[in-house]
Amino acid sequence: MSASAENEASTKQESGPSGAVQDDQKKITVRTGDGEVFELNEEVAMEMETIKTFYQEDDKCETVTMPLPNVERWELQKVIEYCSKYLELKNKEDFDRKLKVFQAEFIKSLSPKCLLCLANTANYLDIQYLQDFICQSVADHIKNKDVEYVRELFEVENDFV
């Protein structure tokens, strides 16, 4: 993603380092593993099954900050960006084409290691459509690569020697 597009996306979603969202929707507060606090729009937060379950099971949790110990700040920012855009495009005409254009731009600046981290984050937060997209992106990235490259990428030790 270009720097200007990334700035525009983050400006729409957050205000300042706390990740506070600027509109009047109900907010869900979460804390990442590296200590960053985010106030998510309820609509975006409910796309994350882990958060949705937490808030559906406990009626007092609206006043509690949900810890996300397995999620780093940058990962949550990327997840918020993706989920927000997905929701924005969801009911629009030509959804598939517009989503593919966004997805191509979304992964452009991400290294394979970042994609793997985001795949783990999508799995932890249980966002199936994001997990499917990222796993397919990783699969496309390692397609036709040699075994040594894949071992290095996934940090798999060669124990056959």
Query: Does the residue 112 lie in any domain?
Result: yes
| Whether 21 contacts 27, CB under 8 Å | yes
Q: Is the pLDDT of residue 144 over 90?
A: yes
Query: Does the residue 160 lie in any domain?
Result: no
Query: Does the residue 159 lie in any domain?
Result: no
Query: Does the residue 55 lie in any domain?
Result: yes
Q: Which residue range forms the structural domain that includes residue 124? A: 3-154
Q: What is the pTM of this model?
A: 0.78
Q: Which of 96-100, 146-150, 152-156 has the lowest mean pLDDT?
A: 152-156
* Average pLDDT value for the chain: 83
Distances (CA, A) of 159 to 61, 146, 151, 156: 47, 17, 11, 9
Residue of higher predicted confidence among 44 and 5: 44
CATH number, domain containing residue 48:
3.30.710.10
Query: Does the residue 161 lie in any domain?
Result: no
Q: What is the pLDDT of residues 30-42, one digit of tens each?
A: 999 999 999 999 9
| Whether 28 contacts 66, CB under 8 Å | yes
Query: Does the residue 129 lie in any domain?
Result: yes
What is the dihedral sign for C-alpha 75, 4, 107, 155?
Answer: negative
Query: Does the residue 40 lie in any domain?
Result: yes
Q: Provide the pLDDT for residue 18.
A: 40
The number of domains in the chain is 1
Q: How far apart are CA 51 and CA 54, in angstroms?
A: 5
Query: Does the residue 14 lie in any domain?
Result: yes
